[in-house]
Structure 1
Amino acid sequence: MQETAILADAACDMPRAMMDALGVHTIPFRIRAGDRFVVDTRDEAALPDLYQQYLVGKQDHYAESIPLLERELEDHLLRHVVAGCDRAILLTIASTRSKFYANATGAVVGTVARSFKLRKDAGRSGLFDLTVIDTGAIGPGQALIVREVARMLADGADGADISHAVETRLRDAAHMIMVPNELLYMYTRAKQKGENSITWGRYMLGNAFNIRPIIRMHQGETEAIGKARGQEEGIRRLLAHAESCVRAGCLLTPDISVAYAGNIDEVRAWPAWQALAATAERAGVELMLAPMSLTVALNIGAGAFSIGYLSEVPPPFV
């Protein structure tokens, strides 16, 4: 049987302990701040300092996340992946949000062609097999698809089965809902990207009355679906919505993913989290709580909170 590795870029908000247990390999992003670069590898221990360095109070938005180019990705795979397995499935951030998927598909031929000698030296025969799949999701939504792919592999699915499942079922079922904390940060970032999830009018109104937008990402696109009086209320409603999904039995997979651009120990102390955890435990639903990747947090600011789930017909958000 071929040995198969699961790869995900650094925007995948899966807990590091779970990634390690499932053998998920992280493909890094570069973070550019002026003329300085750091690497986002989803190092959870480093994330609190990175939030302070690149997010908190940084209203000039000089930092940005940059995906590896084709040749850089080839080099990374050749150094870290191809000699250790026969096949890899790379599950990328939504192609509508990043050029990483395009760069990854462009790197397939070069990676396979350059893998032969390395694999031979490692005692492996044949060419390396690399499948690249656009999850259509980001952050916690992407993490849920990676989690389901790991289950499918454990049950004996092959690359074609997995591609079909993601492209026809999982991608369309992935929902991510988030509430920001720093409105000025998110307004400026959205303006730079040509998005209208937060307009100038919404920013001014939100700033004056402590209103936070509630934003959903589905099928690669974002839209504002509500508003909350303060981030605390927004977070409570997100967690209550996740609990309603569990109670309704509408989850496609038995998981809910949560990411927070702050100290996740705070999350565990919230009554709304504890209520969700109790409901999820009774229903056999796994909660995946992780610090938000720097790549994702750079777009929405420090203190942002998001949930993700897979559902074909979720209950309405209230």
Structure 2
Amino acid sequence: MRIGLVVDSACDLPKEYLEANGVDILPITVKIGDAEQIDYRDQRATLDFLRSHVAERGANAETVPFTVEQIRDLFLQRLVIDYDYVFCMTITKTRSPIFDNAQQASFAILNDYRTIRAAAGKDTPFNLRVIDTQNLFCAQGILPVEAVRLRDAGEGAAKIRARLEHLALHTHGYLIPRDLYYLRTRARMKGDRSVGLLSAALGTTLDIKPVLHGYRGETGPVAKIKGFEPAAQKMFEFAGNRVRDGLMTPTLTLCYGGELDEMRALPGYAQLRETCAEHNVEVFESVMSLTGMVNVGKGAVVVGFAAEERKFDA
């Protein structure tokens, strides 16, 4: 059985990894005024766009995911011919319509694929499973990395599906934003009142940074720490402790809203990498997607992994 894998471009994994493992991308279009950029996880294009004067209005950006029809066409034009079973792993449905769009498209795909496969000389059935990763940014990448690992090990679709759905319930993403005013403005643009004006003002004045936890489709603060670098160090130390305790997959993901060398220079980063190496945990790091950056601002840092739930040690 030929198993295909699909993610949306908000999934923060290196493009080189996705291409090397045949993982297809559902792109998201970012519109800022008259400027438009299609996010195909091109790191250089993302950084160039970030540096442009257009990005200064990022809080007012509009992100446009693939529609039901676009997803349907992508699958029918190629994927139903190339594969027998496809897993489409999306950003949490509580933050984006991509899951719902893909789910709706799947019904049309399963009704229409037979003629297309028959014309290509294939008489076997095609199956598609849309999975809500229940997370964001690089934490979303835990599932596709595990899917690649299982597929390459020769596991069947039923086992892969059960494993991915289990991991989605145990994946954690921790994010530290740099600019609370930006985060509040962007949140209000999307109707999210979780970052109030007072907390943003106090946080900026006192240089207090929240540590936000993404888990099972929900996102909220688990700590408040003075200073971005001390907050990042505390987050890296917490992630390192989880690695020592034992993760559910040998994978840890990192992403950053800017040049990766800036993230690598943060306190605690080098120790986290050493801890992962000591425990045979593979680290994936990438520039945050353009979609992610317009939602949380430049300079945000995120870590993701799968493990049992544990209170964040502030």
CA shift in 2, pair 1:78/1:267, >3 Å? same
Deviation per CA, 1:13-57: give whole Å up to 9, x if none. 111222122221111112122344321111122110122348853
Aligned to 2:26: 27
1:211 pairs, out of 208, 211, 219, with 208
Q: Which amino acid aligns with 1:188?
A: T
Secondary structure at the counterpart of residue 43 of structure 2: coil
Aligned to 1:276: 272
Aligned to 2:67: 69
Confirm or deny: 8 A CA contact 1:13 1:259 kept in the other structure: yes
CA shift in 2, pair 1:214/1:53, >3 Å? same
Deviation per CA, 1:95-150: give whole Å up to 9, x if none. 11111111101101222344344434444333432211111111111101111122
Q: Which stretch shows the higher mean deviation, 95-104 or 76-85? A: 76-85
Secondary structure at the counterpart of residue 178 of structure 1: strand
Aligned to 1:244: 241
Shift of residue 201 of structure 1?
1.2
**How do 1:163-312 and structure 2 match up within 5 A?**
163-167=161-165, 169-249=166-246, 251-312=247-308
What RMSD in Å do the two structures reach over aligned CA positions? 2.0
Confirm or deny: 8 A CA contact 2:255 2:287 kept in the other structure: yes
Q: Distance in 1 between matches of 2:225 and 2:38?
A: 34
Q: Which amino acid aligns with 2:158?
A: A
**How do 1:99-178 and structure 2 match up within 5 A?**
99-167=97-165, 169-178=166-175
CA shift in 2, pair 1:215/1:207, >3 Å? same
Q: Distance in 2 between matches of 1:200 and 1:62?
A: 17
Confirm or deny: 8 A CA contact 1:55 1:301 kept in the other structure: no
In structure 1, stretches of 5+ residues that fail to align are none
Q: Distance in 1 between matches of 2:131 and 2:54?
A: 30
Superposition misfits of 4+ residues, deviation over 6 angstroms: none
Q: Distance in 1 between matches of 2:211 and 2:49?
A: 25
Confirm or deny: 8 A CA contact 1:258 1:289 kept in the other structure: yes
Identity of aligned residues (%): 31
In structure 2, stretches of 5+ residues that fail to align are none
**1:91 partnered with 2:93:** no
Q: Distance in 1 between matches of 2:31 and 2:53?
A: 10
Give me the TM-score of the superposition, normalised by structure 1: 0.92
Q: Which amino acid aligns with 2:276?
A: A
Confirm or deny: 8 A CA contact 1:248 1:315 kept in the other structure: no
Secondary structure at the counterpart of residue 18 of structure 1: helix
Q: Distance in 2 between matches of 1:123 and 1:111?
A: 18
Aligned to 1:58: 57
Deviation per CA, 1:149-187: give whole Å up to 9, x if none. 2222223333332332233x2112111110111221101
Confirm or deny: 8 A CA contact 2:174 2:212 kept in the other structure: yes
Aligned to 1:15: 14
CA shift in 2, pair 1:103/1:173, >3 Å? same
Q: Distance in 2 between matches of 1:186 and 1:271?
A: 23
Secondary structure at the counterpart of residue 45 of structure 1: helix
Secondary structure at the counterpart of residue 58 of structure 1: helix
Secondary structure at the counterpart of residue 212 of structure 1: strand
